[in-house]
Structure 1
Amino acid sequence: MTEILPLVSIVTPTYNQARYLAETIASVLAQDYPHIEYIVINDGSSDETPAVMNTYGDRIVSLHQANMGQARTLNKGWAMARGKYVGYLSSDDLLFPHAISRLVAVLESKPEVVVAYPDADLIDPSSRVILSSVAREFDYDALVVQQDCHIGPGALFRKSLVEQLGGWRADLRLAPDREFWMRAGLQGEFHMIKEPLAGYRMHPESISYYDTNPNTAKEYLRVLDDYYARPDIPARLISRKDEAYANAQLILCRMLLRDGKFSEALDHYRDAVRLNPKLPRLQTWARLIRTSVSKPIRRWMWQIKRTFSFAK
């Protein structure tokens, strides 16, 4: 049976995630799809990651390297992948048993689809479901203009797409995946399977990782600069260029608020209003304040839970 099924290559880059890695690997090896190449790359971890990887022998393709970062590591894995379809799975996330077979069925039956992805559940460090069905239907205009993307773990895409686009941009730290989807969305359709087939893990380390320096967040402006320099942008999105830049300015505003730099945050808010005078002022400020405090509050709550769990 496996001879007539297309090979699927999954790449997991991992850096100091030994606590979750075994469960991630097991979730891929437990797939009901029988023709998978699983590449796990230890990106310079200093914890027990090598020992975890060694327990799986030749069931996975294991690589160990000095730290290169997520984007370069994924690009390296995709370059060596032999599959017709490729994907990635972060080393703290999970695939549920039918994920690959469902996604391959979509890609095989719909040649116009370049990316297929499942709905996902948000899970905690113990793999308990916090919130069900957190993914959303793909909306290319929302991705570009509102900087809004809800593709979680489990996405599969054609290897020819990676070869055509060149993979993730290694100069981006915050959203190389989002920028990749922006380019991929110009090449074909995205299809979401409305069934939770993956677990997207939330834990203290992941929250702190995304609590990024505001200077780094300026890459959202660079991404838009590069995007709007393209000759193949749909006319409807060219007409919404100022709106897209306004939303990028709001992202910077939120980062600066979180960093306590209120004067600079106000400057970016004013830039956003100048670019998009139709912004609802009160609703926008309410959303900025809510999203600015949510991650620090979640981190604080996680720390309390961790303290109490250690005390038991």
Structure 2
Amino acid sequence: MNHLPATFSVIIPNYNNAATLGRALDSVLAQTWPAHEIIVIDDGSSDDSPAVAARYGDRIRYARQANGGVSAARNAGAALASGNWLAFLDADDTFLPERLALHARWIERDAALDFLLADQNFRTPEGELLQHSIDATPFGRELLARHPGQQEIVLEQSQFGPLIADGFTEVRTLSIPRATFHALGGFPVGKRIGEDLHLVVRLCAVSRRAGVVPQPVADYFIYPASAIRKDVVGAQRNFVATLEDLAQEMRAAPAGLRAGLREKIRQARMSLAYMYLRKNERAGALACVTPLLAPVPRWRAVRDVLSILRGLR
């Protein structure tokens, strides 16, 4: 039995989100399990974010830095944190009231949990529900079918590969020990796409047991004008590069995790190839998939290349 209290530092990176920062802060302050502290890192905002933050007084800790990207902002928040667990919320999203409680109560009962995840809602800017994260993924649907009605699901190390390949690794639902976060070096600075998955893969490589709460604990609002959606091809290209770099780091990771990462790379490359095909950029499409044949061609890779070649006709 773990008798240590679960104290959560909630870290909110903010860049020009004055319009939604208050909503995010209110959602953390409304938690049924109060946060140990709320840390807002302003990543070089030029809007009214400081004024919004000032309205909360000493209920939050607010720090400004030159613009360095979301990873640098989250890492800066973690460097200031004093809670024994970290939770992350972007300034244009929200936590549901039980976000911290559902994880904290489990943590206090089970000291063997290395990290925790949960379900989340995907919503339009107006609040319309689009889908949930767990049952939108193959691994998530399999997990729910195997554990019908369970409120807490334990993942063993052997399941981390499928989690990475086809699962749900949403940063808003991630609870990670502060000591583990620092030992891993935090989020990868300089990678603006896939930085959350980059952390979770490295986290899985040093973990044995994780907890999943299969109910939504956060709302993720999808904005059409976001940087990713302004240039989906560029974003996907950067995502592939992030995963390829990560694969080099993970050469000594457990075999199952490496297999899951390879599958994620395959999916990302195929998605990028089809994006190029839709733009009638045939050379780009073919260049996306030919690396899948190395170092040893697998039947699935051959099939993927053939499917792109058919699309070139």
If the TM-score is normalised by the length of the shorter chain, which range does it land in?
0.7 to 0.9
Per-residue deviation, residues 68-118 of structure 1 (Å, max 9, x unmatched): 111111111101100011111011111111111111112222222121122
User: What is the Cα deviation at residue 140 of structure 1?
Assistant: 1.6
What is the TM-score normalised by the length of structure 1? 0.78
| CA distance in 2 between partners of 1:104 and 1:124 (Å) | 29
Unpaired segments of 5 or more residues in structure 2?
144-154
State the TM-score, normalized to the length of structure 2.
Answer: 0.78
Equivalent position of 1:75 in the other structure: 75
* 1:238, distance to aligned residue in structure 2 (A): 5.6
Q: Is the 8 A contact 1:7 1:83 kept in 2?
A: yes
- C-alpha separation in 2, matches of 1:152 and 1:245: 19
CA distance in 2, matches of 1:26, 1:205: 24
Q: 1:308: which partner in 2?
A: none
* Residues in 2 aligned to 1:241 and 1:159: alpha-carbon distance in whole angstroms: 25
Look up the SS of the partner of 1:16 in the other structure: coil
Corresponding residue pairs, total: 280
Q: CA deviation at 1:148?
A: 5.0
Change (3 A) 1:190 1:6: closer
1:160 equivalent in alignment to 2:189: no
2:249 equivalent in structure 1 = 226
CA 1:37 to 1:225, structure 2 compared with 1: closer, same or farther past 3 Å? same
The residue aligned with 1:211 is 232
SS of 1:42's equivalent in the other structure is strand
For the aligned residues, what is the CA RMSD? 3.0
Segments of 4+ in structure 1 off by > 6 A? 239-242
Task: Decide whether the 8 Å contact of 2:6 with 2:107 is kept in 1.
Answer: no
Q: Give the SS at the match of 1:19.
A: helix
Greater shift, 212-221 or 41-50, is seen at 212-221
SS in 1 for 2:290: helix
SS at match of 1:68: coil
Alpha-carbon distance, 1:159 to partner? 0.8
Q: CA offset at residue 133 of structure 1?
A: 5.2
My pick for the range that moved more, 200-209 or 241-250, is 241-250
Query: Unpaired segments of 5 or more residues in structure 1?
Result: 290-312
Question: Does the Cα contact within 8 Å between 1:121 and 1:199 map onto a contact in 2?
Answer: yes
* More deviation, 95-104/45-54: 45-54
Query: 2:42 matched to 1:42?
Result: yes
Give runs of aligned pairs for residues 253-292 of structure 1, distance below 5 A. Answer: 253-254=273-274, 256-257=276-277, 261-272=281-292, 275-279=297-301, 281=303
Aligned: 1:194 with 2:217: no
Deviations 1:187-230 (A, max 9, x none): 222211011121111111335267252653422211112212x3
Distance in 2 (alpha carbons) for counterparts of 1:103 and 1:238: 28
* Equivalence for 2:101: 101
Closer/same/farther in 2, CA of residues 53 and 151 from structure 1, 3 Å limit:
same
The structure with higher relative contact order (CA 8 Å, sep 6+) is 2
